[in-house]
Homo-oligomer: A and B are copies of this chain.
Amino acid sequence: MATHTRRTLGHCGSRTRAVTFATDTSDQASTVETTLTRLLPPADTAPARLHEAMRYAVLGGGKRIRARLVYAAGRTLGLPGERLESVAAAVEFIHAYSLIHDDLPAMDDDELRRGRPTAHLAFDEATAILAGDALQTLAFGVIINDPRLKDQPGIRAALIATLAHACGSRGMIGGQVLDMTSEGRDIGLEELEHVHTLKTGALLRASVIMAADHRPDLATEQRDALDLFARKIGLAFQVRDDVLDIESDTATLGKTQGADIAHEKATYPALLGLDAARDYAERLYVEALDALAPFGERAEPLRAIAAEIVRRDH
């Protein structure tokens, strides 16, 4: 993690600042783990097997890009980190639930996730399905029951609306279905982008937008700028993912390398070629940074994560 961040921040300027950010990012990552651990039901409360499966799926590592996007957007907007805890946890719960269901035998039938057996292998298929279901519910639950937002039902309602929009049939789940139906079929760049704008983009975007939801006073232009950043970096994330599926290895990825090709999935490298796909990720990254211009220095945390997203090796 530290290596990445330093590589990332070499890009931004002086060594001193790079070190500062490396520390910040790593602090943030440990805050995320602490929060997730606390907001998940304890493994020893009934039904223990379900709670164990939920914890297994969520706490098994992961880059926490979504939670860290929440915090980074929050810092850009001057929000205290503790106000964002439930939202940061919620996006990771949704992400973990989507991975559990994606990995099921009826879907991608994957055996490896974050370097460990997928949930349906570590437990069983029924428990995995239900753990995913309960994690989705928990995502809505932690936001709505956040004691720090007790007196702000308007903000809680806005957050739930953003999350429900991002996860639903016209968001993440819609993207998952479109991704499935595109397997083994020739699709063009426009359709591919549409799939990924929904499948991975919607939740990444929501991670940024939910930070903005905490600032109902935010000017429309600033909200739109964050939205544009989130859309660009969400797409860049997926292009990078497709590139990694080819150029990385299973041990580094923590999931099966070459799975896209095996599933005959349409990918950016397949459509554009590997080099052009790398260039495309870079272009999206630059456009994402451009979108942040109105925030000046305050957007450094978002810039750091953006750099990490397009340069990560897993």
CB pair B144–A130 under 8 Å, yes or no, is no
For residue A160, CB closer than 8 A to chain B, the reply is yes
User: Residue A174 at the B interface, CB < 8 A?
Assistant: yes
Whether A106 is near chain B, meaning CB under 8 Å from some CB there, is yes
The answer to whether A145 and B173 have CB atoms under 8 Å apart is no
Chain A positions near chain B (C-beta within 8 angstroms): 41, 45-47, 49-51, 54, 97, 101, 104, 106-107, 124-127, 129-130, 132-134, 136-138, 140-141, 144-145, 153-154, 156-157, 160-161, 163-165, 167-171, 173-174, 176-178, 180-181
- Cα–Cα distance between A137 and B93 once the two chains are bound (Å): 13
Q: How far is the CA of A186 from the CA of B116 in the complex (A)?
A: 35
Residue of B nearest to A41 (CB): B169
Task: Please tell me how many copies of the chain the complex holds.
Answer: 2
**30 pairs from A and B in contact (CB 8 Å cutoff):** A41-B169, A41-B170, A47-B169, A47-B174, A47-B178, A49-B177, A50-B173, A101-B133, A106-B126, A106-B129, A107-B129, A127-B180, A133-B133, A133-B173, A134-B169, A134-B173, A134-B174, A136-B137, A137-B164, A137-B167, A137-B173, A138-B164, A141-B164, A141-B165, A141-B168, A144-B160, A144-B161, A145-B161, A156-B157, A160-B160
Contact B107 A177 (CB under 8 A): no
Partner pick for A129 among B45, B129, B137, CB 8 A cutoff: B129
What residues of chain B lie closer than 8 Å to A134, measured between beta carbons?
A: 168-169, 173-174
Q: Which residues of B contact A141 (CB under 8 A)?
A: 161, 164-165, 168
Residues of the B chain whose Cβ atoms lie less than 8 Å from the Cβ of A132? 133
Beta-carbon contact of B104 and A129 below 8 Å: yes
From B157, B167, B168, A157 is in contact (CB under 8 Å) with B157
Would you give the shortest CB distance from A205 to chain B, in whole angstroms?
16
Q: A145: shortest Cβ distance to chain B, in Å? A: 6
Distance A69 CA – B51 CA, assembled complex (angstroms): 31
Tell me which of B49, B106, B138, B181 contacts A168 (CB under 8 A): B138
Pick the most buried of A104, A141, A167: most chain B CB atoms within 10 A of its CB: A141
Point out the residues of chain B lying under 8 angstroms from A49, CB to CB.
177, 181
